Structure 1
Amino acid sequence: MSSTSSTLPWDVQRPRRADDSVFLVTGGNAGIGYFVAEQLSTTGATVVLGSRNPAKAEVAMASIRARVPGARVRAVRLDLADLSSLETAVESLEMDCLDAVVHNAGVALDAPPRKETGDGHELMFGTNHLGHFALTQWLMPLLSAAPTARIVTMGSFAARSERLDLDDLESRKDYQPKRTYGRSKLAQMYFGVELDRRLRAAGSTVASVVVHPGGALDSLTPSRPPVHVRTTGARLGAAPAALLVQGKHAGAWPAVRAVLDPAVRGGQLWGPRVFGLRGEPRSQPVWTHLTDTSVAARLWDASCDLAGVALGTIPG
């Protein structure tokens, strides 16, 4: 891409073309992930929806095709809570290279009891963080085969006020659902920042970028029936909140820009422009606690042990 085109203003309504590119969006069948997939599909790229529910993935693909004529979209069964299934899931992609992955899928529980994955990990930490951590190992050869691939990790504004307990990463001693969710997203964000640090040290062409959607509410999200249906009552009731937060379609903007914009750099944090809660995406200072390399390194080593992967070696 020319230097002139790379400095043009970013238009969230008309993302740049990405013909011949292939992007994977985990959790692309619902929520913010659906809108990331829908928006990326307007660029001419092939978009793969990673979903643990094939039926929901079919519904999401039909919705995208109805809104984006000629959309090149397909699905792969992907269950991040089942670590042993991830290698097979990546093999089923049947591709030689991958231009970007958006680590978006997530589980959020609002109330006890504490739940575990089939592998015995706390459900939110095991799915949101360990699942993506392990998936990255299997995707790395495909990403490294692309000219300039990107790994985009979807964090959360809720993680800003959290801190990791490295001695209780899986909340076995003190489980509070909302805090555990925030910490699982914080772990993802630490991973995204540390991953780029290691990619740079290895001289890799792959870049890792961290994003967050700000405040993204269902009630401010446009309808995409049957994927998402917003009632008139919900729309009217949420109108005052639109001054501070936004819908999930706008929450997708930072991830879409991180995938497509050549001005985005590895190791950066992108989020909404207005107080980090709403508006068009922009680069933001990396949160101070995310710059703690000792915490990041300890989390990385613990994640390798817990997920049973050897992500210590990053290919150049």
Structure 2
Amino acid sequence: MPAATTSPWDVHRLPAADGKVFLVTGGNAGIGYFLCEQLASTGATVILGSRNAAKAKTAIAAIAARVPGAMVRHVHLDLADLTSLKSSADAWELERLDAVVHNAGTALDHPPRRETRDGYEAMFATNHLGHYALTSWLAPLLNATPGSRVVTTGSFAAKSERLDLDDLQSHRDYRPGRVYGRSKLAQMLFAFELDRRLRAAGSTTLSVVAHPGGALDSLTPSRPPVHVRTVGTRLRGLPLGLFVQGKEAGAWPAARAVLDPQVRGGQMWGPRMFGLRGKPRIEPLWDHLTDTVGAARLWAASRDLTGVEPVV
């Protein structure tokens, strides 16, 4: 009997997902916006999580202008405020959740070190702790939806970093670039630890990492008024297009991680060409992403800091 064949993945013709519900955190701008646009084209209901209602409304209008019949709505989501985050999740009243994409993030460029109202370092809190806690509060929905997925947006910024598990909030060593990279590394380690625990529990929910490679505004197509690229900006960015890509293409790995039935838990998806640009493919895990002991310690520290633990 001949082996089963599958059609090549087409980033411009995504498979239908009618009846499914996807939540994208930080969906009002950047890669998150383009991911919402791409997922909306499948016929799914897309929930755009954002703390800024005005920006979310603008993004939804831009998606509707490009995707006739798009079903996109906004929910309030502030990952830096754990108290409000719990209240928001309780108020959404979703009946199912086929995937949540942990996309939102913040990157601070300059000192001094900043803290959230809960007293956590801002980048670690927003990028990692907020998504960690959100996973806990969405777990009942995810567990009740067969084949659901948790897709975490990773970053090349994490490749050269290592976590200091004794200083997760960077009290001793605060350098914005390093702290951002470590916060993304924490997200990725959590995603792989989550999948190990899901597999051990016999769950059908998958946890997958997707990273955008090099995704620059100058190479990103215009979506006015969400993003406007001038002719001058486009021309200046053309040489970089040999090595990196725009944010529309940067969303492709996450879209595949959400939609492709061949995706398996514990995988990392990124751009085909040196992990920087091109169509999405499975990538081998970086050595430090396979640190199961460190990931388990991070899980325990996250539980202790937030007071919650994802139910798997």
Matched-pair contact (CA < 8 Å) for 1:76–1:92? no
Q: Which secondary structure state, in structure 1, belongs to the residue aligned with residue 171 of structure 2?
A: coil
Find the aligned partners of 1:87 and 1:4 in 2 and give their Cα distance.
44
Find the aligned partners of 2:279 and 2:162 in 1 and give their Cα distance.
27
Q: When the two structures are superposed, what TM-score results if normalisation uses the length of structure 1?
A: 0.97
Aligned residue identity for 2:216: L
Aligned residue number for residue 96 of structure 2: 97
Alignment partner of 1:206 is 2:205: yes
Point out 4+ residue stretches in structure 1 off by more than 4 angstroms.
none
Aligned residue number for residue 127 of structure 2: 128
Deviation at 1:163, TM superposition (A): 0.5
Alignment partner of 1:301 is 2:300: yes
Alignment partner of 1:19 is 2:18: yes
Aligned residue number for residue 41 of structure 1: 40
> Aligned-pair RMSD on alpha carbons?
1.0
Find the aligned partners of 1:108 and 1:304 in 2 and give their Cα distance.
23
Sequence identity (%)? 71
Aligned residue number for residue 109 of structure 2: 110
Aligned residue identity for 1:46: T
**Gap runs ≥5 in structure 1:** none
Aligned residue number for residue 249 of structure 1: 248
Alignment partner of 1:279 is 2:312: no
Q: Deviations over 1:164-194 (max 9, x none)?
A: 0111111111100011000000000000000
Deviation at 1:87, TM superposition (A): 2.1
**Gap runs ≥5 in structure 2:** none
Find the aligned partners of 1:292 and 1:170 in 2 and give their Cα distance.
20
Alignment partner of 1:55 is 2:27: no
Deviation at 1:310, TM superposition (A): 2.6
Aligned residue identity for 1:219: S
Q: Deviations over 1:86-132 (max 9, x none)?
A: 22212222122100000000000111111111111110000000000
Find the aligned partners of 2:222 and 2:307 in 1 and give their Cα distance.
40
Aligned residue identity for 2:112: P
Find the aligned partners of 2:107 and 2:289 in 1 and give their Cα distance.
22
Matched-pair contact (CA < 8 Å) for 1:121–1:170? yes
Deviation at 1:4, TM superposition (A): 5.7
Aligned residue number for residue 257 of structure 2: 258
Matched-pair contact (CA < 8 Å) for 1:98–1:146? yes
Q: When the two structures are superposed, what TM-score results if normalisation uses the length of structure 2?
A: 0.98
Aligned residue number for residue 64 of structure 1: 63
Q: Deviations over 1:131-179 (max 9, x none)?
A: 0000000001011111110000001011111110111111111100011
Distance 1:192 1:51, change over 3 A: same
